[in-house]
Chains A and B, each alone.
Chain A
């Protein structure tokens, strides 16, 4: 069960990082009038279509001892990023980015622009408009983004295998654990873990969707 705990920890870290990273990114995409923003949107959506092996390969190159990210990290902390828990978080953040940005973007874009105009004319700074109008009206999208990032990271396999390797207690996540056990014909153990992962994923999704619906529907649904 240690691998399950590691996966959960990873998923929590990734969801947290993606919230911090995704909010400004989604806000920028939603509000910018720059004509080239479709390029940024395409880059954000890339992980949806690329095979995890391709993404994992380039991330590994970047994070290795000769990659730019790896060298920068090594000069700061004395070791490379690949095959560490932190490296796994970085890779998973990239891999799950569209799952965080897309729901937030949809939520931001569905907020009536006139509400933000009204707030601005009433003297509210951009930050106050964001914090007191846009954010609360986008709560469902943001919660969905966090849950999807969490669940998506919990179940990822390819990128973890490429970037993290298979170090017990450090980078061996539950999906890799299950794969290992199937390879060594331990079907019973594999089944236990698989069922646990299935139940956790379903419970998290179901809980959030249910809560989301009941609490915020009165004024989010127009």
Chain B
């Protein structure tokens, strides 16, 4: 799609915040968000919210070219800067930010200027219905739940017939069931309209549920973009790997490359433990980083045999910790590994600290990451 004429958000900007107690902050971003949902992914402090504020016009970056469906809303070269009122965007913050002195219906109709109260009421009714909050019209924001408030905020933002949507962790703090219900309603709403939606989150499950395209940010910069699995399942950057839920980070030295097999053998730093990992752009003797999800490691109480998995490590259980529906098990196998098992599995293996276990790791569960 041609970046200058097609529908979508086109953003190039440089923003510098003068140093305060928290230090200075730089944002330097060039991105394109087409129709549908684009996820902006990164840990907190990566600059995602600042970026949305710049796109919405609430912050003025030092230099920028921002276009919404080919309408230029900010261009420092030609001195165009439309205020937030004129950008035709919908922007949902982390908090619903409903006006506490207005009813749900008045809130939802706030953006419909120049319409009579009856017209407003009529216009917002369908939206409130679509987001399942039509029965709350007469209530004040203080009298509805957090999930309801977020639905009303969504309806209020969409009532203005925006040309694009900016959503900043809009489902933060909602329980999973409620979250997916709202996500489904939002997708249903956008199915016909096909607006570009920029959706900020640092939660992996939201990426998996919504993702068509992911842009990963860190320290004010874009570090990777593409399809969710391509960006998050094979993170090139260490910080992204942390954010994407790779609990095990290991430094290793390349021993030898087996190019015909597409693998190489590495030795974990400070130990004699060797792993077989996918072939990377490295030579023997290079230091590399390997990231492994705690849930990708199998645990066996006896030495396993006849497996396709290429890495079997012997170790001792160091500690066990129950975290909701998973048991986090630390295993010392020359290096420390974190392994997630279900409570049932932990009981079946009768796991306890000091117990001898074997770790089984597939070659392709080992991901090479950059520092």
Interface residues of A (CB under 8 A from B): 112, 114-115, 117-125, 128, 133, 136-137, 218-219
Contact = CB atoms under 8 A, between A and B. Distances in A.
B97 A115 contact: yes
B89 interface: yes
A128 B99 CA distance: 13
12 contacts: A115-B97, A117-B58, A117-B91, A119-B99, A120-B58, A121-B57, A121-B91, A124-B110, A124-B113, A125-B85, A218-B140, A219-B100
A115 B97 CA distance: 5
Given A124-B110, A125-B85, A137-B100, 20 more contacts: A114-B95, A117-B93, A118-B97, A119-B110, A120-B85, A121-B56, A121-B58, A121-B84, A121-B87, A121-B89, A121-B90, A121-B157, A122-B110, A122-B157, A123-B85, A123-B111, A124-B85, A137-B101, A218-B142, A219-B101
Contacts of B93: 114, 117-118
A133 B95 contact: no
A112, A115, A119, A123: residue with the most chain B Cβ atoms closer than 10 Å: A123
Q: Which of B85, B89, B113, B157 gathers most chain A CB within 10 Å?
A: B85
B84 A120 contact: yes
B173 interface: no
Contacts of B157: 121-122
B137 interface: no
Nearest to B153: A118
Contacts of A120: 58, 83-85
Given A120-B58, A121-B58, A123-B160, A115 B142 contact: no
Contacts of A112: 95, 97
A48 to B, nearest CB: 29
Interface string B231-257: 000000000000000000000000000
How would you classify the secondary structure of chain B's contact residues: helix, strand, loop or mixed? loop
A19 B213 CA distance: 53
A136 B110 contact: no
**Which of B58, B87, B100, B140 has the most chain A CB atoms inside 10 A of its CB?**
B100
B340 interface: no
B156 interface: yes
A141 to B, nearest CB: 14
Interface of B: 56-58, 83-87, 89-91, 93, 95, 97, 99-101, 110-111, 113, 140-142, 156-157, 160
A122 B156 CA distance: 8
A122 B160 contact: yes
A115 B84 contact: no
A136 B101 contact: yes
B111 A115 contact: no
Contacts of A118: 91, 93, 97, 99
Contact of B142 (A117, A119, A136, A219): A219
Nearest to B110: A122
A115 B99 contact: yes
| Those 7 A-B pairs whose CB atoms lie nearest each other, nearest first | A122-B111, A219-B100, A118-B97, A120-B84, A114-B97, A121-B91, A121-B84
B30 to A, nearest CB: 23
Given A123-B160, A219-B140, A133 B83 contact: no
A121 B58 CA distance: 8
A117 to B, nearest CB: 5
A187 to B, nearest CB: 51
Nearest to A222: B100
Given A122-B160, A124-B110, A117 B97 contact: yes
Contacts of A219: 100-101, 140-142
A28 to B, nearest CB: 18
A134 to B, nearest CB: 11
A184 to B, nearest CB: 54
Contacts of B89: 121
A114 B87 CA distance: 17
Nearest to B59: A117
A133 B99 contact: yes
Contacts of B100: 137, 219
Contacts of A123: 85-86, 111, 113, 160
A123 B86 CA distance: 7
A121 B97 CA distance: 12
Contacts of B113: 123-124, 128
Nearest to A125: B85
B66 to A, nearest CB: 14
Contacts of A137: 99-101
Contacts of B90: 121
Contacts of B85: 120-121, 123-125
